[in-house]
Amino acid sequence: MPIRLEDYQEVAGPGVIEELRALAGRVAGRSMQHINSTPVGGGVAEILTRLVPLLRELGVEATWDVIKGDQAFFGVTKAFHNALHGKPEQVTAEMYDIFRANTETNLRDMNFTGDAIFVHDPQPAGLIARKQEIGRRWVWRCHIDVSAPQPDVWEFLRPAIEQYDAAIFSMPDFAQRMPVPQFRIAPSIDPLSDKNRTLESSYVTSVLEKYHIDPGRPVLTQISRFDRFKDPLGVIAAYELVKKRHRCQLVLAGGGAPDDPEGGEVLREVQQAAEDDPDIHVLLLPPFSDLEINALVRGSTVVIQKSIREGFSLTVSEALWKKKAVVGGAAGGIKLQVIDGMTGFLVHSVEGAATRITQLLGDRRLRERMGENGYQHVRQNFLVTRHVRDYVLTMLALEHPGESMIYLS
């Protein structure tokens, strides 16, 4: 049975759905087109999968299109991604040409149907070139940490971004000095999706056993793409320190995404680092493994997200929603989700991660308290219903440019 808006009433809290209906009534019949670079894999695609149907149920004509790109293009955009996150990348003139050529192809093939067009991340950012011809309201939705971008890549993108009517960043640290209104909208999780919904404990146990994980011993888990910014090798190093005191196991699980060609290389490095320890489980999960990911997190004792650079990392909210204390790298949006000492611990090093994991493994009540706090924190701030509201508000803000108090009769 399809999930309906009403189904969120219980999990999101009283009044949330009524407020959404009241606000959406003010933009009913308008169309909102989302454009990104991948239909599956990664947080953006996951969010849009639920957000678009919910907007439609509210009367907003929401649609979702995906740009085309070959391996060369996604190689370039991965380099852009790294460079915008502040990791030095050699970006050549040829790479910029590949980006421009791919943008031209998509400009030719894409139908721009929205009254408001939300373009996600740098890959499709060049589509703004069509604005001059067709008008509409254009929003650049940036999901990555651009607080300290590599200057040449940012300057390449900036002229395009400055043509948008608004830009959205996940946290204030990512905002830029530019003549475009900017809004802060955090990403969100869908509490009713296969990745987050409640599961039978027997299923959780069966998934652990399927992957030869012992449910009787502590399980540390990091769910993420195999990406150097997620520091999987640092997680293994922290686990090795913890293992001196606790007979624990480590699960490093993630999938690939078509727009991330670097993943295979990182996976090989991780497998190599883990090969001598049967208690380290490196799992490359195929698409549509959401139920198993859900079970792996629910079956974990402590969840880790030891990122060095991070856009947001929805895996943190997903773990908090399951009442798991999270040890997270003090990077990007993790700092919004892990309230240090309340919903988990923020760490800056392998040693810090190991210390906090050890502390949590030795204190069940602390884990439970943080887990309960984390659940409440996500409920109030990081559910998809809040995200839907913020996108509706963005549409309304675009219709009232320059106004700070907007009266909706």
Binding site for other proteins (CB under 8 A): 15, 19, 22-23, 147, 169, 172-173, 175-178, 181-185, 339, 342, 373, 376-377, 380, 389-390, 393-394, 396-397, 403-409
The smaller minimum CB distance to other proteins, of residues 201 and 380, is found at 380
The smaller minimum CB distance to other proteins, of residues 125 and 282, is found at 125
Tell me how far the alpha carbon of residue 101 is from its chain's centroid.
28
Supply the DSSP string of 224-241, one letter for each residue.
--S-GGG-HHHHHHHHHH
The smaller minimum CB distance to other proteins, of residues 290 and 390, is found at 390
Contact assessment for residue 323 and residue 334, using Cβ atoms and an 8 Å cutoff: no
CB of 37 to other proteins, least distance (A): 24
CB of 187 to other proteins, least distance (A): 14
State both tokens at 223: 């769910």
Torsion, Cα 326 330 334 336, to 10 degrees, reads: 110
The smaller minimum CB distance to other proteins, of residues 16 and 251, is found at 16
CB of 117 to other proteins, least distance (A): 18
Contact assessment for residue 329 and residue 307, using Cβ atoms and an 8 Å cutoff: yes
Contact assessment for residue 353 and residue 234, using Cβ atoms and an 8 Å cutoff: yes
Q: What does DSSP say about strands 326-329 and 344-347: parallel, antiparallel, or unpaired?
A: parallel
CB of 184 to other proteins, least distance (A): 4
Residue indicated by tokens 């204030």:
172
First to last CA, the chain: 36
CB of 168 to other proteins, least distance (A): 9
The smaller minimum CB distance to other proteins, of residues 37 and 373, is found at 373
State both tokens at 272: 């190599």
CB of 380 to other proteins, least distance (A): 5
Q: What does DSSP say about strands 249-254 and 219-223: parallel, antiparallel, or unpaired?
A: parallel
The smaller minimum CB distance to other proteins, of residues 160 and 378, is found at 378
The smaller minimum CB distance to other proteins, of residues 147 and 358, is found at 147
Residues in the chain: 409
Q: For 246, what's the count of Cα atoms within 13 Å in the CB-facing half-sphere? A: 25
CB of 236 to other proteins, least distance (A): 25
Identify the bridge partners of residue 62 per DSSP, sorted by sequence position: 32
